[in-house]
Structure 1
Amino acid sequence: MPEEITSLTQLLYQLETLARKRDRVSLEMVMQRVGLRSFAPILLLAGLVLFSPLSGLPGVPTLMAILVLLVSIQMLAFRTHFWLPGWLLQRSIPQRKLLLALHWLKKPAAVLDRWLSPRLEILVSRVGSFVIALVCCAIALFLPLMEVVPFSATIAGLALATFALAMIAHDGLVVLIAIVITGLVPGMIVNTLF
C-alpha cells in the first residue's frame, strides 16, 4: 500500500527511488508508487513535468494535458480513485531525464515544504476541490496550444503544481496564489500564438 504523499519533497523522493531502479519510468509505475487514490500527487506530477525542462520535449505538454483532464474530470465526478487508459499508463521517459528534472526541483521543493501549512481549509474542502478541478480542466484545454513554443507551458505547470500543493497541504492560501498564477496563463497563450 503506497504511503500518503504529504509534501513535495516526499513525492520527489518516491519518484527518485522508483527511477533509480529502471532504465525508463512509465506513468503506470508512478501511479503504483503514489497510489490510485492520490489525485493531488498526480496533478502535482503533471505540474512539475510542465514546470521542469521536460516541458520542452515535443508532445509532453499535450500528454500532460490529457493526464490533467482525465484526473480533473474524475475529481469533478467525486470519484474516490481514478482510472487512466492503458496507452497513457505505458508512456515513459528515460531514467536520466527524470533524475535530472527531479534534481532540478529538489531545492525549490524544500523551500516550499517549509512554507506550506493547513490554513483556510474551506478552499480545499469538497466544494473547493470541485472548483480546483474546474480550473485544472480549463488549464488542460489550453495546454495543447502551448505546444507550439517550447517551454511556454511553464506557467500552466506552475499553476497546476500550486493547486496540487494546496490540496496536499490543505492550504487554502496556496489556492488563492494558484488562482493568481492561473490568471497569467491566457497571457502566455496570446504570447505563444502572436
Structure 2
Amino acid sequence: MPQDDDNLTGVFADLEEISEDRDKVSLGHVLETIESRGVGPLYVLTGAVVLLIGSIPGLPAVAGILLVLVSVQMVRSSRGIWLPRPIARLKLPADNLDLVSDRARRAAVRIAPFVRERLTFMIEGVFQRSLIALITAIFGVALVVIGFIPGLPPALSVPLIVLGIGMSGNDGAWILAAVVLLAPVAYILVTRFVL
C-alpha cells in the first residue's frame, strides 16, 4: 500500500530527522516538514502527540486550535497550511517529538497492510471534504474544551488518528471507523457540557 507507506512512515522518519541534535522544534518547522504530504499525516501526528505527550499543559488546546485552522483552510481549498506566527513559533521538546515520531512510524508499518484505496466516494468531492473539515473542526473545538480533563484528550485522539490514516491512504473504511469511534466521545461531550 504505497501511498500510506509514503505518507505515514515517510513523514515520521522525516520528523525523527529534524528532531536530531536539537533541544526544541517549532510547530512551524514541523508543519513545513509534513504539509506537502497532505492533511492525513498531520491528523495522525496531532492525534499521536495528544495521545502520547498530551499531559504537557496547554498542548491539547494548541492541537485543537491547529485542527480548527486546518479545517477552515480545507473548506477554502487553500494550498499549504497557514499558521498564525505565535502558534508557528511554539516549540515542542525535540525528545518528545522524536518519541512520538518513532512510535507512530512503527505503528504505521504495522497497519500498512490494512490500508488501501476503497470507499473513495467518502473522501473525494467538495461535499465530502467539507464534511471531513467539519469533523476536524469538531475534534479541534473538543480538544480546546476538554483539554484540561484527564483522560478525555487521549480518548479523542484515537478517532483523529484513524481519520488521518483514512485520509493518508484514501481509504473510506478508516474514515467510517473514525466517525463510529467519534460517536461515543461526542455523546460524552454533549451530555457533560451541553445538557
Query: Gapped runs of 5+ residues in structure 1?
Result: none
Counterpart Cα distance in 2 of 1:133 and 1:36: 18
Matching residue of 2:104: 105
Counterpart Cα distance in 2 of 1:177 and 1:66: 24
Letter in 1 for 2:103: W
Task: Name the stretch that deviates more: 39-48 or 11-20.
Answer: 39-48
Counterpart Cα distance in 2 of 1:61 and 1:166: 22
Counterpart Cα distance in 2 of 1:146 and 1:192: 10
Counterpart Cα distance in 1 of 2:188 and 2:107: 23
Letter in 2 for 1:161: I
TM-score, normalising length from structure 1?
0.87
Matching residue of 1:93: 92
Matching residue of 2:24: 24
* Pair 122,27 (structure 1): closer, same or farther in 2 beyond 3 Å: same
Q: Deviations over 1:25-84 (max 9, x none)?
A: 1111112212357322222221221222x1111101100000000001110122232211
Q: Deviations over 1:130-188 (max 9, x none)?
A: 21111111121111222222342112211222112111100011110010111122245
Counterpart Cα distance in 2 of 1:150 and 1:174: 27
**3-state SS of paired residue (2:29):** helix
Matching residue of 2:73: 74
**3-state SS of paired residue (1:7):** helix
Query: Gapped runs of 5+ residues in structure 2?
Result: none
**Length, aligned pairs only:** 189
Matching residue of 1:130: 130
* Pair 29,184 (structure 1): closer, same or farther in 2 beyond 3 Å: same
Q: CA deviation at 1:88?
A: 0.6
Structure 1 runs, 4 residues or longer, greater than 4 Å off? 190-193
Task: Name the stretch that deviates more: 16-25 or 104-113.
Answer: 104-113
**1:164 and 2:147 equivalent?**
no
Counterpart Cα distance in 2 of 1:86 and 1:32: 13
* Pair 100,188 (structure 1): closer, same or farther in 2 beyond 3 Å: farther
Counterpart Cα distance in 1 of 2:188 and 2:110: 26
Does the 8 Å contact 1:149/1:192 carry over to 2? no
Matching residue of 1:46: 46
Matching residue of 1:182: 182
Counterpart Cα distance in 1 of 2:177 and 2:48: 16
Does the 8 Å contact 2:115/2:171 carry over to 1? yes
Q: CA deviation at 1:117?
A: 0.6
* Pair 55,111 (structure 1): closer, same or farther in 2 beyond 3 Å: same
Letter in 1 for 2:48: L
Does the 8 Å contact 2:67/2:137 carry over to 1? yes
Q: Deviations over 1:99-133 (max 9, x none)?
A: 22233334322222221111111111023222111
Q: CA RMSD in A?
A: 2.2
